[in-house]
Chains A and B, each alone.
Chain A
Amino acid sequence: MADNSIGDMYKLLLCWRYLRTRWIALASVISVTLGVATMIVVNSVMAGFSHEMQTRIHGILSDIVFESHSLSGFQDPQWHIEEIERAAGDQIAGMTPTVAVPAMLSFQVRGQWVTRQVMFIGIDPRTHAQVSDFGQYLQHPTNREQLSFSLREGGYDTTDSQSPTETPTRPALEHAGWPHRRMRVERERLWKERLETKKSAENTTTRSVDQQVHDVLAATSPKDDSAETSSDVTEDGESRKNPFQTARPAQGRAMDPAKEQFTGIVPGIGLASFRNRQGVDQFLTLPGDDVKITFPTAGTPPKAVSDNFTIVDFYESKMSEYDSNFVFVPIDALQRMRGMIDPQTGIPSVNSIQIRLKPDAKLNEVRDRLREVFPSDLYAIATWRDKQGPLLSAVDMEMAVLNILLFLIIAVAGFGILAIFFMIVVEKTRDIGILKALGATSSGIAGIFLGYGLFLGLLGAGAGLVLGLSITYNINQIRLVVEWCTGSRVFDPSIYYFFQIPTIIDPVTIGWIIIGAIVIATGSSVLPAVRAARLHAVEALRHE
C-alpha cells in the first residue's frame, strides 16, 4: 500500500453521472445563471451611467472650486490666484476666475415671452478651457477649439457631436448664426410694414397686436454699448410683465441688428430646446436670436438690472441640471454690468476661482492645503466630488442596494441547491453506504457533493457570464427590439440625453460576481455534503 491518499476518481465519475441523471439540479443552475447575468448587466449599465455622469460633472466643474460666500464676490482675483499658486502651485495646471449670479432669462417664442430662472456665469474665454472641458460641449466646431462670444456665420453642428448618429437630429441649427439673424430681422421688418399699412387702413388694431409690435420694436431697438452698466432699470410690476417695454431709452446711435450683435451668451441647450419623441431636438430659440437677462448688481442691497444679449452658441454637457440652468457670458462684460469693477483702481471682483489640477495631483490634499491658507469664514473651497457628493453617493447607494437585491437572487438559487442536494442525499443514502463499504472516506463522500455543487456553480456562473456579457454588449439592440415589441419607449433619449445606454464592463466586479455565485453554490452544498459524510455505513446500507 504505497500511499494513504484515497483517490478522487470516483467523485468525478459520480458527479458526472449525477449531473446527467439529475436534471432537477439544473433548475437551480438556471437561477444562478439568471442572477449572475442580471448582476453583470445591471452593474455594467449602472457603472456606465455613473461614469458618464462623473465625467460630465468633472468636465463641467473644475477640480477645485474656490468661492466667496458673498454674491458680491471678493476683490482682486489676480492676487488670489497668486496666493493659491504659492500655496499649491506645484499641483495646479490652470486657474480661471468666474462670476456666477442667479438671473432670469427671457426670450420670445412666436411672439410669446418665455422666462426662465438661470445661473448666469461669467467666464474668461481665454483661460476657461484650461480648467474644464467647457469647449467640447459647444455646438460650433470652431468654438470647441477656441471659444468666442461673437456670433458665427453658420456651420453649427446639426447632429449631436458627442454621440453622432447618421441622421441629423438638429435640422434647426443648419441656418443658425448670422443667416438666421438676418432672416429674422428681415421678417420682422416686413411684418412691421404690413402691420403699419393695416393699421393706417383700419385704425382698429387689437391690443395684442399692438403689444407685439412694441415687442418687435424693443427686440430690434438700437443698443448703446457704452451705456450698458449705466442703463440699469429698476424692475417694477410693469416691466416684469414686459421687460422690453422700457428696455432702451431712445439714446445713442441706432444699431443695425442685421450686422451687429449684443454681448454674446452661451445658454445651456436645455433652456432653448426640447427633444421630441423622434429624438429630434426642437429649438425655441437659436444662435442669432436676442434675449433679455435680468440679474442682481453687486451692491448692497442688490438691484436688478436687465440687458440684451445675443445667443452665439449652445452649451450641452448632457447633465440636464446644468444644461437647463447655465448661461455663460464673458466675465468682463458681466463684471462691468454688475458693477464689480472698482471705479478708482479698476480692480475687478469675482465670485470664484476655478482650479484645474495636474493629472497626478491629489485632490483632497490640495483642497486641505488651500483651506489652511484661506479663512473658511470668507472662502468656501471644495472639490468637484464635494460639490456633487450627495449625487455621487446617492448613485453609489443605489448601486449597493441593487447589488444586494440581485445577490439575493443567487442566494435563493443557493437555497434551491441546498434543498435539491438534501433530496439527492436522501435518495442516494444506500449508494453512499455502498461507497463507504467499498472504502470511500467521509471526506471523499462530502467531496462528491461539494464537487457537484462547485460544478453547478461553475456552470451557472459561466452561463450567466456569457448571457450577461452578450446582453451588455448588445443592450442597445435589445432595447430597440423590446421597444419594437412593446411599442413603448424603454429608454427615452429626451430624458437621459444619451442616444445609447452607456455600459462599462469592469472585470473586477464581474470577477466578484462569479466568485460570489460559485461560493454560494458550493457553500449551499456544504450542509448536504456534511450530512452525507456523517451517514452511518450500515444504516445507509439498510436504507430503502
Chain B
Amino acid sequence: MSDLEIPSKTPPMLETRQVCKQYQSGTTTLEVLRGVDFTLKEGGFLAVVGQSGSGKSTLLHVMGLLDAPDSGEVWINGRRIDNLPVREKDRLRNSSIGMVFQAYHLLPELTALENVLAPLLIRYGIFDWFTQRRAAQEKAKALLDRFGLSDRLHHRPRQLSGGEMQRVAIARALITDPQVLLADEPTGNLDEESGAGIIEALAELNRDKGLSIVLVTHDADIASQAGGIVRLAAGTVDIMNSGAADSAA
C-alpha cells in the first residue's frame, strides 16, 4: 500500500500495519502478534475469530490504544495513532473509539445512567459539565431507552442481569458517537438468547447508523452475522473473507 493511494480514495476506518506484540515472561518470549495487517473499511463489520490465546484481545487492545504494539502502525481514518502522545491517545479513546468487553467492566459505584455518562464526565470539566449536562443526560437516556433499559436508569450494575449490563456497556461505548466500536467477546458471559440480542443490536447499529465494528468472538454463528471474518492464527491474519478482505490487499 503506497502513500500515493491514500488521498485518491477514502482511507480505511481502522488499519494495522505489521503490528507485532510479544510478551516476556521469565526467559521465554511469547510472540502473540507477528505482523498483523488488518483493515476495516468505513461502515464495515468484521468478526475476529481464532483459538483461545491466539491474540484476539491483544490485537483489539492495540487497536483501541490500550496497549502499544512493539512494532508496526495503527491508523484510524487516515491518521497514524500509535505514536501519538499519551494525552492525545487518551483523548481518542474518549471520543473516537468505543469499547465493549466480555466482563462488561461497568463502574460498580455508579448507576446505569452514570455509567453511560462516564465518558462524558471524563471529557468535561466541572464548568463544561454544567452546560452540557442536560443534553448529555437526554442522550444517555435515549440510548438506554433504545436498549430497553429505560426502567433501569438508577440501578447499580450489581442489580442488573448480565445482558442488561452488557447493553449498558454498549450504550456507554456509543454515547461519545465513536468512529469505531471494538467489542471483545461481548456475548461470552451471556446465555444464547441475550447474546443473540446483543449481536442483533450491534448488527442493527452497523446497518442503520453505518457504525464501523470489530467484533471478537469464538462463536462461528455469531461471526457469520458480521460482514466479514478475520481469523487470527500463529500471530498473523490467516484468513480474511468478505468485502473487508478486498480493501486489505
Please list the residues of chain A having a beta carbon within 8 angstroms of any beta carbon in chain B.
Answer: 1, 4-10, 12-14, 17-18, 21, 430-431, 433-442, 444, 536-538, 541
Contacts and interface: CB of A to CB of B under 8 A. Distances in A.
Given A537-B66, A541-B66, A434 B125 contact: no
A163 B113 CA distance: 65
Nearest to B124: A7
Given A9-B124, A13-B110, A541 B105 contact: yes
B110 A1 contact: no
Contacts, number: 94
A244 B239 CA distance: 128
Contacts of B64: 437
Contacts of A8: 125-126
Given A4-B91, A538-B67, A438 B122 contact: yes
A439 B109 contact: no
B94 interface: yes
Nearest to B176: A439
A437 B105 contact: yes
Given A13-B110, A541-B101, A6 B122 contact: yes
B222 to A, nearest CB: 22
Contact of B93 (A7, A12, A438, A541): A438
* Interface of A, helix, strand, loop or mixed by DSSP: helix
A431 B122 CA distance: 13
A14 B109 contact: yes
B109 A7 contact: no
Given A439-B94, A440-B90, A18 B122 contact: no
Contact of A17 (B105, B110, B123): B110
B87 interface: yes
A6 B90 contact: yes
A21 B108 CA distance: 11
Contacts of B108: 431
Contacts of B67: 536-538
A434 B105 contact: yes
Interface string B94-128: 11000101000111111000100011011111101
Given A6-B123, A13-B114, A439-B123, 20 more contacts: A6-B122, A7-B123, A7-B124, A7-B126, A7-B129, A9-B121, A9-B122, A9-B125, A13-B121, A14-B109, A18-B109, A21-B109, A435-B107, A435-B118, A438-B94, A438-B118, A439-B90, A439-B93, A537-B67, A541-B66
B61 interface: yes
B123 to A, nearest CB: 6
Nearest to A442: B86
A368 B86 CA distance: 66
Interface string B117-157: 01101111110110000000000000000000000000000
Contacts of A430: 105
B122 A437 contact: no
A17 B200 CA distance: 34
A436 B123 contact: no
Contacts of B107: 14, 431, 434-435
A1 B66 contact: no
B87 A441 contact: yes
Q: Which of A13, A434, A436 has the most CB of B within 10 A?
A: A434
Contacts of B109: 14, 17-18, 21, 431
23 contacts: A6-B122, A7-B121, A7-B124, A7-B125, A9-B121, A9-B122, A9-B126, A12-B126, A13-B110, A17-B109, A435-B118, A435-B122, A437-B105, A438-B119, A438-B122, A439-B91, A439-B119, A439-B122, A440-B122, A441-B86, A537-B61, A537-B67, A538-B66
A10 B122 contact: yes
A128 B142 CA distance: 90
Contacts of B119: 438-439
A437 B66 contact: yes
Nearest to A433: B105
Nearest to B106: A434
A9 B129 contact: yes
A437 to B, nearest CB: 6
A5 B91 CA distance: 9
A444 B121 CA distance: 12
Given A9-B124, A21-B109, A442-B86, A437 B129 contact: no
A438 B119 CA distance: 6
Given A438-B93, A438-B94, A438-B118, A7 B66 contact: no
Contacts of B88: 4
A14 B109 CA distance: 8
Contacts of B106: 434
A440 B118 CA distance: 10
Contacts of A10: 118, 121-122
A282 to B, nearest CB: 69
Contacts of B128: 7
B95 to A, nearest CB: 6
A439 B87 CA distance: 9
B53 to A, nearest CB: 14
A263 to B, nearest CB: 81
A541 B57 CA distance: 12
Contacts of A18: 109
B66 A6 contact: no
Contacts of B91: 1, 4, 6, 439
A4 B87 contact: yes
A434 B173 CA distance: 12
Contacts of B122: 6-7, 9-10, 435, 438-440, 444
Nearest to B94: A439
Interface string B51-95: 000000000010010110000000000000000001110111111
Contacts of A436: 66, 90, 93
A18 B109 CA distance: 7
B171 to A, nearest CB: 13
Q: Which of B109, B114, B126 has the most CB of A within 10 A?
A: B109
Contacts of A538: 61, 66-67
A537 B107 CA distance: 15
A1 B121 CA distance: 15
Nearest to B169: A434
Contacts of A7: 121-126, 128-129
Q: Which 3 A-B pairs have the closest CB atoms?
A: A439-B94, A17-B109, A10-B121
A537 B93 CA distance: 12
Contacts of A4: 87-88, 91
A10 B87 CA distance: 17
